[in-house]
Copies of this chain bind each other. A is one copy, B any other.
Amino acid sequence: MMSHYAELLTPAQIIAVHDASLEILDQVGVLVRNEEARRRFGRHGCRVDPQTQIVTFPRAVVEEFRRLVPPTFTFHARDEALTKTIPGNGLVIATASSAPNLIDPDNGEDRRSTSQDIARIGHLVSQLPGIDVFSISVLADDAPDGQFSLSRFYPAVKNCSKPVRTSVMDIREARQILKLGALVAGSEASFLARPFITFGYCSIVSPLTMDFDSTEMLMFCADHKLPAYGTIAPIGGLSAPLSMIGMLAQINAEWLATAVLAQVSRAGTPLIYNFLPVVGDMRTGAYAAGAVETGIVAMAIVQMARFYGVPSGSYLGLTNAKSGDAQAGFEKAMSPALAATAGIDFIVIGGLLDALMSFDFGQLVIDDEIARMLKRVRQDLALGSLERSVAEIRKAGPGGMFVDHAETLAAMKTAAFLPQIADRERREVWKERGSVRTHERALSRAKELLCHPNTAALPAEIDARVRNGFENLVSGDCEVPSGWTAHLPDEQRPRRLGRRGSR
Binding site for B on A (CB under 8 A): 2-10, 13, 16-17, 20, 23-24, 27-31, 54, 110, 205, 207-209, 236-246, 249-250, 253, 279-288, 290-293, 295-296, 299-300, 320-334, 337-338, 340-342, 354-355, 357-358, 366, 369-370, 373-374, 376-377, 381-383, 385-390, 392-394, 396-403, 405, 407-408, 411-413, 415-419, 421-425, 427, 430-431, 435, 437-439, 442
Residues of B within 8 A of A413 (CB): 282
Cβ-neighbour of A389 out of B246, B374, B388, B399 (below 8 A) = B246
Residue of B with least CB distance to A410: B242
A sample of 7 more A-B contacts (CB under 8 A), given A2-B7, A242-B408, is A249-B393, A288-B416, A292-B373, A296-B381, A327-B438, A334-B374, A337-B341
Nearest CB of B to A195, in Å: 33
Cβ-neighbour of A357 out of B2, B357, B427 (below 8 A) = B427
Cβ-neighbour of A207 out of B238, B377, B396 (below 8 A) = B396
| Chain B CB within 10 A, most for which of A340, A342, A397 | A397
Residue of B with least CB distance to A244: B381
Residues of B within 8 A of A30 (CB): 398
Residue of B with least CB distance to A19: B386
Q: Is the CB of A337 within 8 A of B327?
A: no
Residues of B within 8 A of A279 (CB): 415-416
* C-alpha spacing A382/B333, complex, angstroms: 25
Q: Is the CB of B438 within 8 A of A325?
A: yes
Q: Is the CB of B325 within 8 A of A333?
A: no
* C-alpha spacing A401/B23, complex, angstroms: 19
Cβ-neighbour of A337 out of B300, B337, B398 (below 8 A) = B337
Q: Is the CB of B334 within 8 A of A424?
A: no
Nearest CB of B to A408, in Å: 5
Residues of B within 8 A of A237 (CB): 402-403, 408, 412, 415
Given contacts A8-B2, A330-B329, A330-B370, contact A293 B417 (CB under 8 A): yes
* C-alpha spacing A323/B285, complex, angstroms: 32
Nearest CB of B to A371, in Å: 11
Residues of B within 8 A of A377 (CB): 292, 295-296, 338
Residues of B within 8 A of A291 (CB): 416-417, 419
Residue of B with least CB distance to A249: B389
* C-alpha spacing A319/B95, complex, angstroms: 25
Residues of B within 8 A of A240 (CB): 402
Nearest CB of B to A179, in Å: 35
Nearest CB of B to A5, in Å: 6
In the complex, the 8 A-B pairs of residues with the closest C-beta atoms, listed nearest first: A329-B329, A246-B389, A31-B398, A6-B6, A4-B7, A208-B398, A330-B333, A333-B333
Cβ-neighbour of A338 out of B3, B5, B341, B411 (below 8 A) = B341
Q: Is the CB of A242 within 8 A of B411?
A: yes
Given contacts A331-B422, A366-B326, A415-B244, contact A397 B13 (CB under 8 A): no
* C-alpha spacing A411/B293, complex, angstroms: 14
Q: Is the CB of A16 within 8 A of B386?
A: yes
Q: Is the CB of A320 within 8 A of B398?
A: no
Given contacts A207-B396, A326-B366, A330-B329, contact A381 B415 (CB under 8 A): no
Q: Is the CB of A9 within 8 A of B341?
A: no
Residue of B with least CB distance to A204: B398
* C-alpha spacing A236/B381, complex, angstroms: 14
Nearest CB of B to A301, in Å: 12
Q: Is the CB of B412 within 8 A of A323?
A: no
Q: Is the CB of A24 within 8 A of B341?
A: no
Q: Is the CB of B330 within 8 A of A366?
A: yes
Q: Is the CB of B292 within 8 A of A392?
A: no
* C-alpha spacing A299/B338, complex, angstroms: 13
Q: Is the CB of B334 within 8 A of A373?
A: yes
* C-alpha spacing A421/B329, complex, angstroms: 13
Q: Is the CB of B3 within 8 A of A245?
A: no
* C-alpha spacing A286/B430, complex, angstroms: 13
Q: Is the CB of A281 within 8 A of B418?
A: yes
* C-alpha spacing A290/B419, complex, angstroms: 10
Nearest CB of B to A367, in Å: 9
Cβ-neighbour of A6 out of B253, B286, B342 (below 8 A) = B342
Q: Is the CB of B326 within 8 A of A398?
A: no
